[in-house]
Amino acid sequence: NIGVTAVQIKVRNRDSGQWLQADGSFGPTADWIDTVVTNPGQLNVTWSIDLTLPPARYNPVTQAFDAAGNIGTQTVFRPFTVI
């Protein structure tokens, strides 16, 4: 396919079951949040997002898009804890 042009993330608080919203609050439904992609259009990109999260256990999920609008199908499970 074509290189990655965008990456989005959604983050679930495993302790409360709530999802991070684009405004930084938490709610009952998942909200896909845009990230900053370095070198969009390449096959391998780096992405980042600045988040301020309260102490809890979290599960992030990401999705990547290419220039044709295809959504990547590979998801990596990387839970983390904020202390």
pLDDT in tens, 12-36: 999 999 999 999 999 999 999 999 9
CA dihedral 66, 2, 45, 24 (to 10 degrees): 0
Q: Which two tokens stand for residue 34?
A: 């845009």
Contact 53, 82 (CB under 8 A): yes
Query: First and final CA of the chain: distance in angstroms?
Result: 39
Query: To which residue do tokens 């992405």 refer?
Result: 47
pLDDT in tens, 58-81: 999 999 999 888 998 777 778 999
Residue 74, pLDDT score: 72
Amino acid at position 23, single letter = D
Report the length, in residues, of the chain. 83
